[in-house]
Structure formats: structure tokens, C-alpha cells
DNA sequence: GTAAATATATGACAAATATCATAAAGAATA
DNA sequence: TATTCTTTATGATATTTGTCATATATTTAC
């Protein structure tokens, strides 16, 4: 069965808003794509033809600015809408999307979604709600970053992976120091140095990509007092 | 007549998507509010009861974080939806809104808008489009700021007021140096110093709040090469 | 498996930005 | 008008962050 995943946010929206015959057609129109780590499956400038949804895995949204510098906009986790920030507003993507781990993407034809928005107001309302929340998250994030020192920025990144992605104190960082630099706006060396300092201060243990958070309170304090 | 403003974006959406009897009821339900400079008409934490639209003037969206520091999120100009970023997603505002100049706000009851979204899919689609575009602007803005030096940040602010608000090379800055600091994440002294430097370098003339852009190309070059 | 490329790490130094102090000008208030 | 408060301004100095150089470890390509 195609629409059988547990905890599927979009399925929940469908069940809450669609009448059952709409739901059936919808599930049949779904495509599932299994992608390995490091695959760029949406490219900045590509025409938007489908609505994508992250079922499993981890992704990054990133873009290249006029000067050629790469910036990471945000990280996406399961149940996130991948393509929301442009899909309803523009014809092409203004950013790229790349998997950071093996991921499963659900793909719906854009016309079907658009049609549902047009013909089902309750569905539309839910979509507005979800896209707005997601955009709000990105906005709070960048505003937050803008006001913090390098220590606060790095602490936030580590806490993000611990609290929102892996839930355990030990985990393998899915991003390189360079990618953390692209996300925080810091230089690579600064990122490496701050991680080293955290290690020397006994806040974390580091074995290459492997991070173990030893003193979470301390890390959180650094984050909070870093304004 | 209540719905008689030219260039009203929301009226355009209505005309394009509503049938005429819906439109009539809508215009009658509208309230217009004239506010002088410096009035905070939406407060962080307030319950969201209406949909607000900036007809004339200039506003700032701002918030206070946990540490008590004020941040300016964005500036709003005529035809901007004031309340979009929370209205469909949350029950209360996560930011405040204050006039920077005498402004006129159009107010619609939230229930009416919500009803239209539910019953008119084309209207819903337009609302999604507008809110998404606005959120995208804020996101590009903060990402852009994150990657620039103090010179680039200040140049951007000055160019913003010239290109998007006043259109003339000479204008009165509607914000204090302190507010520019809250917007850019720089310290007040740095903002003042950079403006002074721009003046000493002949890029602008400064008479208190009055700014005259002398060398726009130069300012733009500083902005662009400031990554 | 070896070579090349990339990622991590650290030191030394330079540049960018913040902080503290002080002062003058303007705006708000009594 | 005098007084207080806020804003703008600038210097001196400290702190933060970036750049360049170099080294080792790790990954990728052949």
C-alpha cells in the first residue's frame, strides 16, 4: 500500500481535510524515491514540477550567491516539506537540496496539489499553516544566528543535531566543518577552532565526525549567554 | 467608498478570485486606521484577531529575545501584509509591529479571511503565494546579512531605503542608528562609525537623519564586494 | 595500494568589530 | 528656560574573527 507510512504529516493533513475518494487518487499518484547520501536532487534554477516531502533521512537546503559563495539555508528532517519555500510562489527553485544521509523522498505531482488547494479550502489552510511555520523557523534561526558569537553559533549547531535530529548525546556529525561554516557564516578555521576549544574545555568529546556531548548544560549556557 | 484605493494588492487578489457578492461584503467589513509615527500597534504575545494590511507609510517588525535584546526582523512598505507570518500558523504574534512614519492600516476580521481561504481555493492560492514570497524575502535578507561585513550591511540598508522606499538620492532616514544596529546585528558605535566613514569617503552626505547618496555606484560596489 | 584530493587541526598574525569613555547636539519634559 | 534624556560622534583599547601557512589525517580516484 502506498499511503501506509506512520507519522506522515502530509497524510495527516489529507485525512483531516480530504474526503475518501480524493484520498485514494492521491495515494496512487505518489512516487517514492530512495536516495543515498550526498545526492543533490533539487538544483537551484530547476523548474518546479512536483511537491516533495522528506519521509526518512536528512537534507540540506543550500544556495550559491552571485559571488559564488555557497550558503546553507537550513537542514530538513523527516516529515518536512522539502520544496515549500518556492513551490507556490515561483516557477523555479532558488536553492538546491542535497541529502546528508540516505533519505526517502515522497513525490507528488504539483498539479494535483495545486488542484487540491483550489478545490479544498481546509486543505489549503493546512498547507498555509505548515509552510508558514517552516518559513518562521528558518527566519528565527537566521535572526538568532545574526546576533550570536562564534561560540554561540557552534553550540547551537551541536545542540540542534542532539535535540532535533539524533536525540542521543553521542552522534556522527552529518556535516563537515566546512558545511557548518557555510551555515553559520563563520570561516572554516574558526569552526574547527571552536570545536577544538569545546573539546579542550571538556564540553564535548570529538573523534573526527563523532561528537559526544559531555556537558550539555555548559553548552547550553554558552549558547544562551552568547548574545 | 471603502474599497476604492488604487494599487491595493489585496483588492487585486479579491477581484481576481472572488465573485462580486463576496467582494461587496468584504469591503464593508474593512476598517481603516490612521497611525502617527512611533505607534506600536501589534505587540509580541498579543492574540491574533485580524488580518492587517499596510495601505500607506512604513513599519518595522521587531521582537525581544529571551535575553532582552531587541531585534528588527524587517521593514514593511505599502501593500505589504503586516501580519502574515503568524496569522495562519499561530494564535499569538511572535513579534511586534511599530510605525516608522505616519501610516494607514487596513484591518479585516480574521474569521472573514479564514472563511474565504476555506471556501475559495483560488483566493487561498494567492494568499499562499503572497505570504511565501514575503517570507522568502525576509529569509534572503537575513542570509545575505549573515555573510557580509559591516560595510556591506550598512551599504545594504542605505540602498534599501533609496531603492525600495524613497526612490530619491536624498531622504530622511526613518530609523535611528540604534535601529540600524538592531537590524544588522552590529553595535551602535559601529553603525555610526561606518556611516561616518562613508561620509568621509564621499559616498554619502549626512546631516543628522538626512542622507544624500552621492556615489551610488561606489556604495553598490562596497555592498557587492563585501562578502 | 598508491597518489591525489579533501578535511581536520593548530600557530602566528592581521583585520574586523565591540566595548568603554567622553563629549556635543538635539529632543523631550517640567 | 533650564534640565534631563537620548542620539550622534569619535578616540583608545580590547576582543572577536579571519587569513595565511603548514602539518597530519582521512577520503577519493585511479
B72 DSSP β-pair partners: B62
- Residue B72 within a domain: yes
- pLDDT on residue B1: 44
The verdict on B152 and B98 lying in the same domain is no
Residue B29 and residue B136 share a domain: yes
Q: What DSSP state is assigned to residue B15?
A: H
Check residue A19 and give its pLDDT.
65
Q: How many distinct structural domains can be found in chain B? A: 2
- Do A69 and A36 reside in the same domain of the chain? yes
Does B124 sit within 8 Å of A128, measured CB to CB?
yes
A71: domain range? Answer: 9-144
- Confirm whether any atom of chain D, the nucleic acid strand, is less than 7 Å from CB of A149: yes
Shared-domain flag, residues A183 and A85: no
Q: Please check whether residue A2 lies inside any domain of the structure.
A: no
d(CA A71, CA A81): 20
Same domain, B24 and B133: yes
B161 and B119 belong to one structural domain:
no
Measured from the Cβ of residue A12, the count of other Cβ atoms closer than 10 Å reads 12
Of the three residues B143, B160, B177, the one that is the final residue of a domain is: B143
Is position B2 within any domain? no
Looking at B143, B168, B193, the residue that finishes a domain is B143
CATH code of A53's domain: 2.60.120.10
Percentage of chain A surpassing pLDDT 70?
A: 91
The answer as to whether A121 is a domain residue is yes
Q: Same domain, yes or no, for A120 and A208?
A: no
* pLDDT digits 0-9 by tens, B46-104: 999 898 888 889 999 999 987 788 999 999 988 777 766 677 778 899 999 999 999 99
| Rounded (5°) CA angle B75-B226-B205 | 65
**Same domain, yes or no, for B64 and B138?**
yes
SS3 B34: strand
The count of CB pairs under 8 A between chains A and B is: 132
Domain membership of residue B3 (yes or no) is no
Residue B79 and residue B52 share a domain? yes
Give nucleotides in strand D with any atom < 7 A to a protein C-beta: 7-12, 16-21, 25-27
Are residues B19 and B119 located together in one domain of the fold? yes
Question: Tens digits of per-residue pLDDT, B130-187?
Answer: 888 888 888 888 888 888 999 999 999 999 999 999 999 999 999 999 999 999 999 9
pLDDT value of position A130: 84
Give the closest residue to D20 (Cα–C1′): A189
Q: What distance in Å separates residue A57's CA from the closest CA in chain B?
A: 24
**Helix ranges restricted to H, chain A:** 9-17, 20-28, 84-87, 110-119, 121-146, 150-160, 177-184, 188-200, 216-224
Q: Which of B93, B118, B143 is the last residue of a domain?
A: B143
What's the pLDDT band for B35 if we cut at 50, 70, 90? very high
Q: How far apart are CA A222 and CA A216, in angstroms?
A: 10
CATH of the domain at B202: 1.10.10.10
pLDDT tens sequence for chain A (227 residues): 456 666 677 777 777 776 666 666 677 778 889 999 999 999 999 999 898 888 889 999 999 988 788 999 999 988 777 766 677 778 899 999 999 999 999 898 888 888 888 888 888 888 888 888 888 888 888 888 888 999 999 999 999 999 999 999 999 999 999 999 999 999 999 999 999 999 999 999 999 899 999 999 999 999 998 87
Residue A199 lies inside a defined structural domain of this protein: yes
Asked whether residue B108 falls in the same domain as residue B176, the answer is no
| Contact indicator for A188, A181 with CB cutoff of 8 Å | yes
Which of A61, A89, A111 to mutate: most B Cβ within 10 Å?
A: A89
Does residue A137 sit in the same domain as residue A30?
Answer: yes
What is the 8-class DSSP label of residue B38?
Answer: T
- Asked whether residue A4 is assigned to any structural domain, the reply reads no
**B92 within a domain of the structure (yes/no):** yes
Amino acid at each position: 500500500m502506498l499511503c501506509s507510512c506512520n507519522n506522515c504529516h502530509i497524510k495527516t493533513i489529507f485525512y483531516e481535510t480530504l474526503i475518501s475518494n480524493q484520498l485514494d487518487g492521491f495515494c496512487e499518484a505518489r512516487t517514492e524515491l530512495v536516495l543515498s547520501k550526498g545526492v543533490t536532487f533539487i538544483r537551484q534554477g530547476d523548474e518546479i514540477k512536483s511537491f516533495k516531502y522528506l519521509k526518512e533521512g536528512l537534507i540540506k537546503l543550500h544556495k550559491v550567491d552571485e559571488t559564488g559563495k555557497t550558503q546553507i539555508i537550513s537542514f530538513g528532517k523527516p516529515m518536512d516539506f522539502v520544496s515549500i519555500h518556492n513551490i507556490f510562489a515561483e516557477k523555479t527553485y532558488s536553492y538546491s537540496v542535497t541529502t546528508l544521509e540516505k533519505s526517502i523522498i515522497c513525490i507528488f505531482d504539483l498539479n494535483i496539489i495545486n488542484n487540491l488547494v483550489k478545490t479544498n479550502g481546509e486543505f489549503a489552510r493546512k498547507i498555509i499553516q505548515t509552510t508558514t511555520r517552516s518559513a518562521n523557523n528558518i527566519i528565527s534561526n537566521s535572526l538568532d544566528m545574526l546576533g550570536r558569537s562564534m561560540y554561540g553559533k557552534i553550540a547551537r549547531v551541536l545542540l540542534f543535531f542532539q535535540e532535533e535530529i539524533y536525540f542521543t548525546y553521542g552522534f556522527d556529525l552529518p556535516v563537515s566543518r566546512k558545511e557548518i561554516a557555510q551555515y553559520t557564516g563563520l570561516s572554516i578555521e574558526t569552526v574547527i577552532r571552536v570545536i577544538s576549544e569545546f573539546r579542550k574545555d571538556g564540553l564535548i568529546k570529538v573523534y573526527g565526525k563523532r561528537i559526544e556531548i559531555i556537558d550539555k548544560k555548559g553548552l547550553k549556557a554558552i549558547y544562551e549567554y552568547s548574545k
